[in-house]
Amino acid sequence: MSETLEALQEDIAAGRLQTDELVLNMGPQHPSTHGVLRLELVLDGEAVVKVIPHLGYLHRCFEKHAEAMTYPQVIPYTDRMDYLAAMNNNHGYALAVERLMGIEVPERVEYIRIIMAELQRIASHLVAIGTFGMDIGAFTPFLYCFRDREYILDIFERTCGARLLYNYMWVGGLSHDVHDGFEKDVAEFIRKFRPTIKEVNDLLNYNKIFIERTANVGVLPPDVAISYGCSGPMLRGSGVDFDLRRDDPYSIYDRFDWEVCVGKGDAGTVGDCWDRHMVRVWEMEQSCNIIEQALESFPEGDITEAIPKRIRPPKGEIYTRVENPRGELGYYVISDGSQNPFRVKARGPSFVNLSVIDEISRGHLIADIVAILGSVDIVLGEVDR
């Protein structure tokens, strides 16, 4: 018996033993798939040979719905794509229609939009960071992250009455002006939030076990990230210094002083899971800087004066892109001159970023797939649309 075992081990070591590959379905009900995503894993023992993502469990027909809606009626549908970044979704669509119609919004609207978009970025990253920690096995940081996210949702609720899906940024303006005490509430949130970043760093980000689970795992080289069209923290985590807010500025982002955060390979290889995670942590600090600068020069004014009574863009087409928490969100809008868009094509960053998962998962173990998928930070409402 011992001789047989020794011979088997020799065959394995020499690569002479041919074994069958195993196909394992992860999801669509698996808690670490962050929604109804099915990953078809092709395995050689514990090692991953191939990852095939299967979509279609949450298909919402956003683009087809948009053809049957008026331009303002499309806005609530944009909320429901990346439902953790609804403000940013509103912003991109409103900008596209405004550029198509040649509308310039008041200064106050621009400042409110920037503050809301950056608050939404922080709230989105808090979910990504907290749930990523849970995927790895750390529960406490999740509570810290969601505690501070509630402060942001409270501000949104006081402003427009909603906590998740807002229908807030309208073509030409906003649905509501900010509530009394808005500036004080936002400044107070920033004051309370900055210490949380340090707490999460101490509890999770520089924890030895967390680093061992994420450093040198799922390495995405910069050339591969670019060739796949990755964007946002996924791209910047690979060391690529690119951010639409600076490199293709929209709204009034060019008025503020802030830094683009990129992966540096401090814990492992540039472009690994740890780098992608830390880019989101660093971006929250930069969002705080942008918000503070916007509050310093917050103007008075009317937020509805540029909202047209009839929204019927001239015939034409436009592509507008914004820097969402997950990357480049683009809207390609075609107008035929009627009150309904002829076509609204949405370019979702989660969908594009997910396409690279097979490339960065090969050779890793099954447990590493949980970390890799968590570091991509997808929202299925945007992947499926």
CATH classification at residue 136: 1.10.645.10
Q: Is residue 129 part of a domain?
A: yes
The one-letter amino acid code at 144 reads Y
pLDDT at 1: 45
Instruction: Identify how many contiguous H helices and E strands the chain contains and give both numbers.
Output: 16, 8
**In Å, what is the CA distance from 42 to each residue of 3, 21, 56, 191, 363?**
32, 7, 20, 48, 11
Q: Is residue 251 part of a domain?
A: yes
pLDDT at 157: 97
Among candidates 285, 279, 283, 247, which has minimal Cα distance to 376? Answer: 279
Q: Cα–Cα distance between 100 and 343 in angstroms, integer?
A: 13
Q: Is residue 179 part of a domain?
A: yes
Containing 324, the helix (H) or strand (E) segment is strand 316-324
Among candidates 309, 373, 381, which has minimal Cα distance to 39? Answer: 373
pLDDT at 16: 67
Q: Is residue 53 part of a domain?
A: no
Q: If phi over 0 gives left and psi between -120 and 50 gives alpha, with beta otherwise, what is residue 244?
A: alpha
> What is the 8-class DSSP label of residue 306?
T
Helix (H, G, I), strand (E, B) or coil at 171: coil
Q: How many CB atoms lie within 10 A of CB 137?
A: 10
Among candidates 158, 143, 151, which has minimal Cα distance to 190? Answer: 151
Q: Is residue 292 part of a domain?
A: yes
**In Å, what is the CA distance from 265 to each residue of 63, 201, 327?**
39, 16, 20
Residue 374: φ, ψ to 5°:
-65, -35
Say whether pTM exceeds 0.75: yes
The domain containing residue 275 runs over which residues?
62-356
**Bond preceding residue 28 cis, omega within 30 of 0:** yes
pLDDT at 31: 85
Q: Is residue 324 part of a domain?
A: yes
What are the structure tokens assigned to 172, written together?
Answer: 């030409």
Interhelix angle for 140-160 vs 107-136, to 10°?
160
**In Å, what is the CA distance from 166 to each residue of 160, 236, 295?**
7, 28, 22
Q: Rounded to 5, what percent of the chain is helix, strand, coil? A: 50, 10, 35
pLDDT at 11: 65
Instruction: Specify whether the CB–CB gap between 176 and 168 falls below 8 A.
Output: yes
Q: Is residue 245 part of a domain?
A: yes
Among candidates 15, 21, 27, which has minimal Cα distance to 46? Answer: 21
| Total domains, the chain | 1
Query: What is the pLDDT tens value at each position of the chain, 385 positions in all?
Result: 456 657 756 765 676 666 788 999 998 988 888 889 999 999 988 899 999 999 999 888 999 999 999 999 999 999 999 999 999 999 999 999 999 999 999 999 999 999 999 999 999 999 999 999 999 999 999 999 999 999 999 999 999 999 999 999 999 999 999 999 999 999 999 999 999 999 999 999 999 999 999 999 999 999 999 999 999 999 999 999 999 999 999 999 999 999 999 999 999 999 999 999 999 999 999 999 999 999 999 999 999 999 999 999 999 999 999 999 999 999 999 999 999 999 999 999 999 999 999 999 999 999 999 999 999 999 999 998 8
pLDDT at 21: 86
Among candidates 220, 270, 243, 295, which has minimal Cα distance to 121? Answer: 243
Helix (H, G, I), strand (E, B) or coil at 163: coil
Q: Is residue 42 part of a domain?
A: no
